[in-house]
Amino acid sequence: MSQRFTQQPCCYLAPSSTHRPVPPPTLQRLTPPRPTTSYSTEKMFRVRKAPSEEHTLANFAYVNKADFDATQIKHIRIDPGPAHHYIFSIRNDPSIKQGEIAFGVPHRKWAVLSLDQEIRVSPFTFQSSEYIGSIVLSADFNAKKNVTSEPLNADLMAREFSMQFGGQAFTKGMRMAFRFEDKEKNKTHTLSLTVKSIEGFDINKAAIAASGGGTADDNKPKPIEHGELLPNSGIVFDKEEGSMLNLIGKSKGKSAYRSIINPNWDLQQMGIGGLDNEFSNIFRRAFASRILRIHTARMREYNKLDPNVDLDELSKRTKNFSGAELEGLVRAAQSSAMNRLVKAGNKAEVDPDAIEKLMINPGDFEHALENDVKPQFGRSDDALNRFQSWGMTVWGPEINDILSKGDLSVSQVRNLKARGFKSVLIVGEPKTGKTSLAAQIARNSDFPFVKVVSQEEMIGLTESAKCMALKKAFEDAKRSKLSLLLVDNIDRLIDYSPIGPRFSNPVVQTLLVLFNTLPPPGHRLLVLVTSSSYTFLKELGFLDVVSRVIEVPRLSTPEQMVRVIQETNNYTDEQILEIERNLRSLVEETRLKIGVKHLLELVEEANESQPEYQVTSLLEEIEAVATK
């Protein structure tokens, strides 16, 4: 069947009369049958690793046919804990024993699963409204050694993706590996992908609309959390922030947008400027949707706003935006739309028909949200990403237990019957991954306001200035209805030194007061604190003002250490066996204990060696730690 490429950013679609796929009436038959009674009950499984790299690249979870027959059950839902669930497509594999379920490394990291962990699994069927109209994926090279500046054709990638993964389940935030065979250049690239967003449609209503029935809204895509990929789903690639990936195609994804906001460019005539401060303050946050309609009124009047821009959905994503920030968001979206009409060359030229062609679409607002406008009372996603530069390594049930306790604290703060304030102290030896775990709990919370407080922001401040900065951070958090504050490395914030000991008493007293002050009625706040000085904080009386203490252990068994090393995906199975043999004797002799962050640092250092010396280098580094 012939195929064409749309003018959307790095997007591939099957043939259609419009830019968005409209399923034909026959697509009603794609709705999978309900599972039979014999497969309708949930079961408990033990997590195992995927048997091979090829299994990982296929993007399935693998089970024995006696547990779930993949010819009858296409998708499953797993529940690793009380607060989260994940959807996967399954495939049968005879090498997987009954009662076991195997995942590739990207899936285990995404769902925060540890090997040998027990999880609840049940069959899952998508509703008619959970089929993918378009999916946006961020891409990066799977390993540093694979990085190349050679351009990759995103249009061909999208076509290959559609052929490899049609009919599979995808969820927002899902991580996966993707092997792209560039047949034009006879080269193969392995990429790491993350699902950034999904738009879905109701397959039954769309079929009726395609036959001339229903309403205009029946065929309108809406953001969804998960869905099934169809043969004519739109696939959009964008490079991950900081990636060296060079995408080419009919367009280059959202990362190709450039901000062209001119400070002297007056958009008053388009109806998106001129709100004074008093007006912005009156409608601040609580009336985000109304303000968005005000800012876009003239756009809609002159048919410059794409009908697919869902202002109600946009207002949900901008709950913590002030009036001025919403105005800036609309300006930035317009800037992105204008940018598409600028002709590149020695001299930038604007398309003479720009006014007629100008149309602000959902992608423009998406780009503005991700790159241009960040709310003062929003989420510190950049800081959370920095805290998890190595990803989330689940090296044992201890980590699952910590995350479950964090999720429970999140649920308690959300509970309207509770008092709405809770503080959790996460303690452990240096380099045990405390901050990464706190960041994961913050991500899992999905709170609209997430703020990070760290010593980096307070370098050079006097004691009084530091106290004022802490007070402001707590006050800002309490202004939002639902907030999370992550106070990282409190030892550094109070200038603690074990020699003496020495610390800043004014900062300590400020923190003790702030931790004892409840948010206003109707406002809810969770505070996460990380520390490596449990005994000292206990002496200060800090443990008396926190609601809960969670301890993060060090790795203490060869199995735990090997699991972390294995998850880096840098060593062959033979090398892993060699590492494990040496670690067993080393742990027996020295009773070695090491933090997960420390071990990952050693792996990174060893990888700088020549390939044939990497294992030896790693073992020498670990031995040096053990014999200190």
| Mean pLDDT calculated for residue range 593-614 | 92
More confident residue, 594 or 28: 594
Whether residue 248 is contained in a domain is answered as yes
More confident residue, 15 or 208: 208
More confident residue, 269 or 414: 414
- Of 514, 520, 521, nearest to 529 by C-alpha is 514
How confident is residue 564, by pLDDT bands cut at 50, 70 and 90? very high
Residues 6+ apart with CB under 8 A from 232: 13, 14, 15, 16, 21, 23
Got the DSSP string for 95-155? TSPTTEEEE-HHHHHHTT--TT-EEEEEEE---TT-EEEEEEEEEEESSGGG---S-EEHH
The structure tokens listed for 447 are 């709170």
What does the pLDDT look like over 337-351, one tens digit per residue? Answer: 877 776 555 555 655
Whether residue 44 is contained in a domain is answered as yes
- Say yes or no: 203 and 68 in one domain: no
Whether residue 229 is contained in a domain is answered as yes
Q: What is the pLDDT of residue 68?
A: 95
Look at the chain and report how many structural domains it folds into. 5
Q: Which of 16-20, 332-336, 497-501, 561-565 has the lowest mean pLDDT?
A: 16-20
The structure tokens listed for 214 are 């229903």
How confident is residue 284, by pLDDT bands cut at 50, 70 and 90? very low
- Say yes or no: 436 and 575 in one domain: no
Rounded to 10 deg, the angle between the 434-445 and 397-414 helix axes is: 40
| Mean pLDDT calculated for residue range 277-302 | 57
The answer to whether residue 307 scores a pLDDT higher than 70 is yes
Best-predicted range by mean pLDDT (8-12, 319-323, 390-394, 553-557): 553-557
More confident residue, 482 or 252: 482
Which of 372, 399, 424 lies at the terminal end of a domain, its last residue? 372
How confident is residue 320, by pLDDT bands cut at 50, 70 and 90? low
- Say yes or no: 153 and 17 in one domain: yes
Cβ atoms 243, 140 nearer than 8 A: yes
- Say yes or no: 358 and 403 in one domain: no
Neighbouring CB atoms inside 10 A of 618's CB total: 25
Q: Is 462 exposed, middle or buried (0-12, 13-18, 19+ CB in 10 A)?
A: exposed
Which of 101, 124, 147 lies at the terminal end of a domain, its last residue? 124
Residues 6+ apart with CB under 8 A from 117: 46, 47, 80, 394, 397, 400
The answer to whether residue 354 scores a pLDDT higher than 70 is no
- Say yes or no: 103 and 136 in one domain: no
Q: What is the pLDDT of residue 92?
A: 97
3-state secondary structure 9-60: CCEEECCCCCCCCCCCHHHHHHCCCCCCHHHCCCEEEEEEECCCHHHHHCCC
* DSSP β-ladder status, 482-487 and 449-453: parallel
Cβ atoms 112, 394 nearer than 8 A: yes
Residue 235 parent element (H or E): strand 234-239
Whether residue 263 is contained in a domain is answered as no
Q: What is the pLDDT of residue 274?
A: 36
The answer to whether residue 526 scores a pLDDT higher than 90 is yes
Which of 521, 552, 583 lies at the terminal end of a domain, its last residue? 552
The answer to whether residue 271 scores a pLDDT higher than 70 is no
Q: What is the pLDDT of residue 493?
A: 93
More confident residue, 376 or 318: 318
- Say yes or no: 416 and 442 in one domain: yes
Neighbouring CB atoms inside 10 A of 469's CB total: 16
More confident residue, 355 or 285: 355
What does the pLDDT look like over 451-474, one tens digit per residue? Answer: 999 988 888 899 999 999 999 999
- Say yes or no: 532 and 566 in one domain: no
What does the pLDDT look like over 133-173, one tens digit per residue? Answer: 889 999 999 877 778 888 888 888 998 999 999 999 999 99
* DSSP β-ladder status, 222-223 and 118-124: unpaired
Supply the CATH number for residue 622's domain: 1.10.8
- Of 556, 539, 545, nearest to 510 by C-alpha is 545
What does the pLDDT look like over 12-58, one tens digit per residue? Answer: 444 333 334 434 334 433 444 443 334 458 899 999 999 999 999 99
- Say yes or no: 412 and 535 in one domain: yes
The structure tokens listed for 129 are 């409204």
Q: Whole-prediction pTM value?
A: 0.67
Neighbouring CB atoms inside 10 A of 158's CB total: 25
Whether residue 497 is contained in a domain is answered as yes
Q: What is the pLDDT of residue 8?
A: 41
Residue 564: strand pairing partners: none
Supply the CATH number for residue 239's domain: 3.10.330.10
Residue 577 parent element (H or E): helix 573-590
Residue 315, CA atoms < 13 Å, CB-side half-sphere = 18
More confident residue, 239 or 213: 239
> Whole-angstrom Cα distance, residue 205 to residue 210?
9
Residue 77: domain span: 37-124
- Say yes or no: 342 and 307 in one domain: yes
- Say yes or no: 145 and 235 in one domain: yes
- Say yes or no: 63 and 95 in one domain: yes
Cβ atoms 280, 327 nearer than 8 A: yes
How confident is residue 578, by pLDDT bands cut at 50, 70 and 90? very high
Got the DSSP string for 378-443? SB-HHHHHHHTTT-----SHHHHHHHHHHHHHHHHHH-TTS-SEEEEEEEESTTSSHHHHHHHHHH
Q: What backbone phi and psi angles, to 5 degrees, belong to 533?
A: -130, 65
The structure tokens listed for 546 are 């926190």
| Overall residue count recorded for the chain in this entry | 628
Q: What is the pLDDT of residue 377?
A: 61
- Say yes or no: 529 and 405 in one domain: yes
The structure tokens listed for 77 are 């839902």
Place of tokens 């009084």: 464
Supply the CATH number for residue 539's domain: 3.40.50.300
User: Across the chain, what does the average pLDDT equal?
Assistant: 81
Residues 6+ apart with CB under 8 A from 222: 129, 199, 200, 201, 310, 313
Got the DSSP string for 175-190? EEEEEEEETTTTEEEE
Specify the amino acid at residue 478: K
The structure tokens listed for 27 are 């697509």
Supply the CATH number for residue 113's domain: 2.40.40.20
**Above pLDDT 70, what percent of the chain?**
81
